[in-house]
């Protein structure tokens, strides 16, 4: 019996064109699987263009798990592609925030800020020149790691980019830092 005051319960829509931009009902497995098959490659490509492949795959799984958990309550049924990419972007930002590294003061001793404003520029120039000279004296394998870390690149990315174990990236950085500290201190004394 159907009348003007009766409400109907939304029914799940069978997979097919145009079902991406509709709101799922509850845990709609058919809808989810369709979205996954249609957009998983896009999400993974988006993430891989910004982080190493292994990290991208982990983040992609987090994105799809979140979609499964919140789609019925948070997806408004409009533009699924934009919504899923926003979730992927947020996962990426969260990942960067978790991996944000704090550089202790002793790692920046070679590039200290000038204390005296009258000779600050000269002091900074002499320290920068000493650091650059010392960088040229350490081995190439140490140079690439220390330069990458000086620009803020995380150890995981360095490890992947140069195809070296994570522990090797850490030890090369520490070895390079120690050599640079000794060299710069010797040049400035």
Which CATH number belongs to the domain containing residue 133 in this structure? 1.10.10.10
Residue 163 belongs to what domain range?
A: 105-188
Kindly list the distances between the CA atom of residue 156 and the CA atoms of 60, 91, 169, 170, in Å, as whole numbers in the listed order. 18, 17, 8, 10
- pLDDT mean values, one per 10 residues, the chain (189 residues): 41 44 71 91 93 89 90 86 93 81 48 48 78 88 87 86 89 90 83
Q: What is the DSSP letter of 10?
A: P
Last residue of a domain, which of 66, 81, 99?
99
Residues 113 and 27: their CA atoms lie apart, in Å, by 57
Q: Indicate whether 70 and 114 sit together in one domain.
A: no
Tokens of 95: 């990942």
Of the candidates 116, 106, 101, 34, the one whose C-alpha atom is nearest the C-alpha of residue 67 is: 34
Q: Write the pLDDT tens digit of every residue in 110-142.
A: 444 444 444 456 777 887 888 888 888 899 889
DSSP alpha helix (H) spans, 49-139: 53-74, 80-99, 120-137
**128 and 68 within one domain:** no
Inside any domain, residue 15: no
Buried b / exposed e over 32-71, threshold 16 CB at 10 Å, is: bebbeeebeeebbebbbeebbeebbeebbebbbebbbeeb
User: Tell me, what's the pLDDT at 188?
Assistant: 77
Residues 176 and 137 in one domain: yes
* Dihedral pair phi/psi, residue 104, rounded to 5°: -60, 155
| pLDDT score of 155 | 86
Is residue 43, in this structure, part of any structural domain at all?
yes
pLDDT, residue 101, reads 53
My answer on whether 89 and 112 are in the same domain is no
Q: Within a domain: residue 88?
A: yes
Question: How many structural domains compose the chain?
Answer: 2
Contacts of 59 (CB under 8 A, 6+ apart): 47, 51, 88, 91, 92, 95
Q: Are residues 76 and 120 in the same domain?
A: no
**Are 62 and 112 members of one domain?**
no
Residue 164 placed within a domain: yes
How many C-alpha atoms does 152 have within 13 Å on its Cβ side? Answer: 6
Q: Does 21 map to a domain?
A: no
Prediction pTM value: 0.44
Are residue 183 and residue 109 in the same domain, yes or no? Answer: yes
For residue 22, what pLDDT is reported? 66
Domain boundary among 69, 99, 129: 99
Shared-domain flag, residues 95 and 138: no
Radius of gyration (C-alpha) of the chain in whole angstroms:
26
């Amino acid at each position: 019996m159907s009348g003007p005051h009766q409400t109907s319960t939304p029914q799940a829509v069978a997979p097919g064109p145009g079902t991406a931009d509709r709101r799922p009902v509850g845990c709609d497995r058919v809808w989810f699987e369709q979205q996954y098959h249609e957009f998983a490659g896009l999400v993974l490509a988006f993430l891989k263009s910004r982080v190493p492949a292994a990290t991208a795959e982990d983040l992609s799984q987090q994105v799809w798990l979140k979609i499964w958990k919140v789609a019925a309550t948070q997806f408004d049924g409009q533009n699924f592609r934009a919504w899923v990419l926003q979730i992927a972007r947020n996962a990426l930002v969260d990942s960067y925030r978790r991996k944000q590294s704090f550089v202790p003061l002793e790692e920046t001793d070679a590039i200290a800020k000038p204390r005296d404003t009258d000779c600050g520029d000269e002091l900074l120039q002499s320290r920068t020149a000493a650091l650059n000279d010392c960088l040229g004296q350490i081995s190439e394998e140490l140079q690439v790691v220390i330069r990458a870390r000086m620009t803020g690149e995380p150890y995981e990315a360095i490890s992947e980019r140069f195809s070296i174990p994570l522990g090797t990236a850490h030890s090369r950085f520490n070895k390079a830092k120690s050599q640079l500290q000794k060299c710069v201190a010797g040049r400035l004394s």
